[in-house]
């Protein structure tokens, strides 16, 4: 475990400190329990002495019991203090990386697995985009009257976009398309968009990423950064039947993120926002089912991108870019010609039993024993950046946007978005 965590930047010294703290906590716990047992024993003897009218013995033992009781309270306080510190330290330890995760420091060390673009299967080269497609979505969206960043900022501050008309319907259409595509195999859930602290801790978002979260201190609630949070805790503190696994769920929700470290970086348009809509796919499974669950969610995210005709690539995240809770993650990034950049639109992650351990989600095996489930999740997809990529990719020379045919049933058969002046 030390060797695996060292790949993620956790030093051996840190683990030694945690182990020493655990030893201290166990010793203090044993001492407190020993004193508690002795106090209990003396209390019984004192009662017997009083029944026998042996007042002197009763008083002597009572005084000893009171002294031991004070020692027990001191030992318990010390044990709880160390226990709290130990728990806090353990909550900050990341998951063990999967063996096939490459070593690395940051996103520059991620490994590109493959690319896809329309016509690739027929031998067409990587697409070259025309000048009219190289207009950033914030300009194209303003021109079309479908993106109103000024009003969004006036209502809630910067990085809260406001979509209008066909732009708003496009967001709704993308969610409907994704939910329809996954409805057969994934049960649709409409969860709360606020969660308790314990729920946020189950996924590993707290305490590690507290600065990225929106909290409502008065009510002890947090705005969810992803539907992964409520879905992970749907079966918290429960024991599932092995025969019921895998349990596949999907949910479309608003997602809230402070993006605290994003000042001055990618804050134009909808590349980095505080609120966005996303469809999440999620699975509870056995360890043996984990790889298939991962591959299924990844395939579904890819399938949607291909239906939308967007150029994309897959990146296997290195240890330095891996999320705290993840053992293995593949990011999907679309190429957006107006900003000339690859934009992350999905992360598919296998958490092994990391989250289930925190949420206490187990399953009963056919042999009658219990084990922790594994959790897998992935976006299919995050719509703000997909919206941007669609508006830029499908922009025409007459400044209109002709959306892919797959969206027509959801857009009222109105695939073309024209400038306000047209």
3 state DSSP class of 199: helix
Return the CATH number at 81: 1.10.287
In a domain, 401, yes or no: yes
| Count of CA atoms in the C-beta half-sphere (13 A) of 164 | 15
Measured between alpha carbons, how far is 276 from 227 in angstroms, rounded to an integer? 12
Q: Are strands 328-336 and 416-417 parallel, antiparallel or unpaired?
A: unpaired
102 domain-assigned: no
Whether 34 maps to a domain, the answer reads yes
Within a domain: 100: no
Total number of domains in the chain? 2
Look at residue 57 in the predicted model and tell me its pLDDT: 86
Number of alpha carbons in the 13 Å side-chain half-sphere of residue 205: 26
Residue 43 lies inside a defined structural domain of this protein:
yes
Mean pLDDT of 368-391: 98
* Least confident range of 58-67, 70-79, 333-342, 362-371: 58-67
Q: Do 219 and 312 have their domain in common? A: yes
| Domain assignment present for 45 | yes
Other beta carbons within 10 Å of 9: 11
Q: What is the mean pLDDT of residues 401-412?
A: 96
Which of 37, 59, 91 delimits the end of a domain?
A: 91
Write out the E strands in 23-178: 111-116
Same domain? For 80 and 123 the reply is: no
Transcribe 241-299 into DSSP letters: EGGGPSEEEEEEEEEE---GGGTTSS-STTSS-SEEEEEEEEEEE-GGGHHHHHHHHHH
Find the mean pLDDT for residues 261-279.
85
Cα(301)–Cα(175) distance, integer angstroms:
13
Last residue of a domain, one of 91, 123, 148: 91
Of 38, 63, 91, the residue at which a domain comes to its end is: 91
For residue range 287-324, what is the model confidence (pLDDT) as tens digits? 999 999 999 999 999 999 999 999 999 999 999 999 99
- Whether 200 and 166 map to the same domain: the answer is yes
- Confidence class for position 421, pLDDT limits 50, 70, 90: low
Give pLDDT, residue 65: 87
Residue 28 forms part of a structural domain: yes
The chain-wide mean pLDDT, for the chain, equals 95
Task: Give the domain range for residue 155.
Answer: 107-417
pLDDT in tens, 19-37: 999 999 999 999 999 999 9
What pLDDT sits at residue 50?
Answer: 86
The verdict on residue 97 lying in a domain is no
Q: Which of 380, 417, 401 is CA-nearest to residue 306?
A: 380
Percent of the chain with pLDDT over 90: 90
| Residues in contact with 320: Cβ distance below 8 Å, sequence separation at least 6, in sequence order | 8, 9, 103, 104, 105, 106, 109
| Helix (H) / strand (E) containing 370 | strand 370-372
179 with 277, same domain: the answer is yes
Q: In this structure, are 39 and 125 located in the same domain?
A: no
**Dist. CA 138–CA 72, nearest whole Å:** 66
| Same domain? 243 vs 377 | yes
Q: What is the CATH number of the domain that holds 137?
A: 3.30.930.10
Residues 79 and 159 occupy one common structural domain? no
Q: Is the per-residue pLDDT at 254 higher than 70?
A: yes
Residues 287 and 343 occupy one common structural domain: yes
Confidence of residue 265 (pLDDT cuts 50, 70, 90): low
């Amino acid at each position: 475990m030390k060797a695996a965590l060292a790949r993620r930047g956790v030093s051996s010294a840190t683990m030694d400190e945690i182990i020493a703290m655990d030893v201290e906590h166990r010793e203090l716990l044993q001492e407190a329990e020993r004193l508690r047992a002795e106090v209990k024993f003396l209390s019984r003897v004192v009662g017997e002495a009083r029944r026998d009218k042996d007042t002197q013995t009763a008083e002597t033992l009572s005084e000893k019991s009171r002294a031991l009781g004070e020692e027990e309270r001191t030992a318990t306080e010390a044990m709880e203090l160390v226990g709290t510190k130990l728990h806090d330290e353990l909550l900050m330890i990341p998951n063990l990386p999967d063996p096939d995760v490459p070593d690395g420091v940051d996103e520059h060390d991620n490994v590109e697995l493959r690319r896809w673009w329309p016509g690739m299967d027929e031998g067409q080269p990587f697409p070259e985009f025309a000048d009219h497609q190289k207009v950033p979505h914030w300009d194209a969206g303003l021109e079309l009257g479908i993106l109103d960043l000024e009003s969004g900022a006036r209502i809630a501050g910067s990085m809260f976009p406001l979509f209008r008309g066909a732009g708003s319907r496009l967001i709704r259409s993308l969610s409907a398309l994704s939910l329809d595509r996954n409805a057969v195999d994934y049960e649709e859930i409409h969860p709360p968009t606020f969660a308790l602290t314990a729920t946020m801790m189950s996924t590993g978002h707290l305490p590690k990423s507290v600065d990225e979260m929106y909290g409502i201190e008065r009510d002890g609630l947090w705005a969810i950064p992803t539907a992964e949070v409520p879905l992970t805790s749907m079966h918290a503190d429960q024991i599932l039947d092995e025969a019921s696994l895998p349990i596949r769920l999907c949910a479309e929700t608003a997602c809230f993120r402070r993006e605290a470290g994003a000042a001055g970086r990618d804050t134009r348009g909808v590349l980095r926002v505080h609120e966005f809509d996303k469809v999440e796919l999620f699975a509870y499974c056995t360890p043996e089912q984990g790889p298939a669950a991962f591959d299924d969610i990844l395939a579904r995210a890819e399938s949607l991108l291909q239906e939308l005709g967007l150029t994309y690539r897959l990146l296997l995240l290195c240890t330095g870019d891996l999320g705290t809770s993840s053992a293995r993650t593949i990011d999907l990034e679309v190429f957006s010609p107006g900003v000339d950049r690859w934009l992350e639109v999905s992360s598919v992650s296998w958490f092994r039993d990391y989250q289930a351990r925190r949420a206490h989600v187990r399953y009963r095996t056919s042999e009658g024993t219990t084990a922790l489930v594994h959790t897998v999740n992935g976006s299919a997809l995050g719509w703000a950046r997909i919206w941007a990529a669609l508006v830029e990719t499908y922009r025409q020379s007459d400044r209109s946007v002709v959306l892919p045919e797959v969206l027509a049933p959801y857009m009222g058969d109105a695939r073309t978005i024209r400038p306000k002046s047209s």
